[in-house]
Amino acid sequence: MDLQSLNSALTTFGTRFFTVANANPEAEISACPGWSMKELVGHVGNVYATVEGIISADSIERPSDLFNSSPDGDVLNWAKSNFHNLLEILETREPSRPIWTWGQEKNVGFYIRRMTHESLVHMWDAETAENEHISVDGDIACDGVDEFIDVSLQLAASRKEFNYPDGSLHLHRTDGEGEWLLEVVSNELIVKRVHEKGDVAVRGNALSLLLYLWGREPEDIEIFGDPELARSWGSIAP
């Protein structure tokens, strides 16, 4: 997926997120049990501020402080300002510019991709307050599945006492090309982008697969095999 398309999607998803949040300020977020809309907005605003700060620092060294707390007052406008600041700085930086990241790819483009999919998932979370979801390009969501496997799953695995589920997972995209087989050997992940049988299979459109991997419960997925194993794979997001 090209970064220009992802950057455009980031703008769309972030804008939609704040539109929904503004219309439902007191909502409880069913996709994130225990979270209110204010808490979700605070989290998203914090992530935007953190990434904008990392890019502004323009360094390949890890920052000493990654996250700050959200304000007690007008969280929505604070978070929205952070979003616009992030978009502005991304306009001034070449995607290939070297910078510190928590992934293997060490450039600004890493954050364009990461923030696009962060915004997509949390846009969907916010939209559950209205039970109305905008259409999402399947190829953008498919890139999100790849990004989860390549970046977020590797981050989860780097944590102490992390163990992968005891069995392989086959993901099958139904709205275009995309299949993944996740196997674990000696607690090391092996990823194959092929059609091969796993111990459990999860089928759905690209967005539903992405949401499943991030611990959400989209309605339009099918599980073939052990549902407990499927739940285990769907609950290891960092």
Residue 15 phi, psi (nearest 5): -65, -45
Predicted pLDDT at 64: 82
Instruction: Specify the pTM.
Output: 0.96
Q: Which residue has the tokens 């304000």?
A: 71
Number of Cβ within 10 Å of residue 1's Cβ equals 16
DSSP 8-state assignment for residue 71: P
What domains are defined for the chain?
3-127 (1.20.120.450), 143-233 (3.30.1050.10)
First vs last C-alpha separation in the chain = 23
List, for the chain, all residue ranges whose pLDDT scores fall below the cut of 70.
67-68
CB-based burial label for 155 (10 Å; 0-12, 13-18, 19+): middle
Dihedral, 153, 158, 160, 166 alpha carbons, nearest 10: 40
Q: What are residue 28's DSSP bridge partners?
A: 36
CB-based burial label for 213 (10 Å; 0-12, 13-18, 19+): buried
**Cα–Cα distance for residue pair 90/84, rounded to 1 Å:** 10
Residue 145 phi, psi (nearest 5): -65, -45
**What is the H or E stretch that residue 138 is in?**
helix 138-147
Predicted pLDDT at 4: 96
Beta strands in the chain (DSSP E): 169-173, 179-185, 188-192, 200-204, 221-225
What the block records as the tokens of 99 is 């910078």
Beta strands across the sheet bearing 188-192:
188-192, 179-185, 169-173, 200-204, 221-225
